[in-house]
Structure 1
Amino acid sequence: MIDTTAQDDLSIPALRSGDRAEFARLVDAYSAPIYRLGLRMLGNEQDAEDVLQNTFINALTHLSSFEGRSSILTWLYRIAVNEALMSLRRGRPEISIDDFNSSEDDDHFHPSQFVDWGALPEDELLSNEGKQALETAIQNLPENLRMVFLLRDIQGLSIKDTADTLEITESNVKIRLLRARLSLREQLSFYYGERINQEKTND
Structure 2
Amino acid sequence: MNDVKESHLVKQAQNGDEDAFSLLVERYATRLYGVCFHLLGNREDAEDCVQESFIKIYRSLTGYRFRSSFYTWAYRISVNVCLDYRRKNNRGKTVSLDEGPETSSGQLFYQVADELPLPDQLLERSELTELVREELSLLPAYLRDIVILRDLEGLSYAELAGLLKISEGTVKSRLFRGRKQLMERIRYREQNRSGGRQTDREITTEGSEGEK
TM superposition score normalised by structure 1: 0.67
Equivalent residue number for residue 10 of structure 1:
6
Percent identity between matched residues is 32
Alignment of structure 1 residues 40-51 onto 2, 5 Å? 40-51=38-49
Paired with 1:44 and 1:93, the residues of 2 have a C-alpha distance of 11
Deviates more, 1:136-145 or 1:41-50: 136-145
Cα distance in 1 for partners of 2:91, 2:39 equals 16
Extract unaligned runs of 5+ from structure 2: 103-116, 197-212
2: CA distance between counterparts of 1:76 and 1:167? 18
Judged with a 3 Å threshold, the aligned counterparts in structure 2 of structure 1 residues 137 and 93 are, in CA distance, closer, same or farther, namely closer
Equivalence for 1:106: 99
Instruction: Output the amino acid matched with 1:89.
Output: R
Indicate conservation of the 8 Å contact 2:92/2:140, yes or no: no
Count of matched residue pairs: 175
Alignment match, 1:193: 191
Q: Counterpart of 1:106 in structure 2: which amino acid?
A: E
Q: Relative contact order (C-alpha < 8 Å, sep 6+): which is higher?
A: 1
* 3-state DSSP of counterpart to 2:60: helix
Within-5 A mapping of 1:26-41: 26-41=24-39
Take 1:56 and 1:148, find their aligned partners in 2: how far apart are those partners? 23
Displacement after TM superposition at 1:60 (Å):
0.3
The 2-side partners of 1:36 and 1:197 are apart by 33
- Does structure 1 conserve the Cα–Cα contact (< 8 Å) formed by 2:157 and 2:168? yes
Q: Is the 8 A contact 1:55 1:80 kept in 2?
A: yes
Aligned CA distance change for structure 1 residues 93 and 192 (closer, same or farther; 3 Å): closer
The 1:29/1:162 distance shift into structure 2, 3 A limit, reads farther
AA at the equivalent of 2:55: I
Tell me if structure 1 keeps the 8 A contact 2:147–2:178.
yes
Query: Scaled by the length of structure 2, what TM-score is found?
Result: 0.65
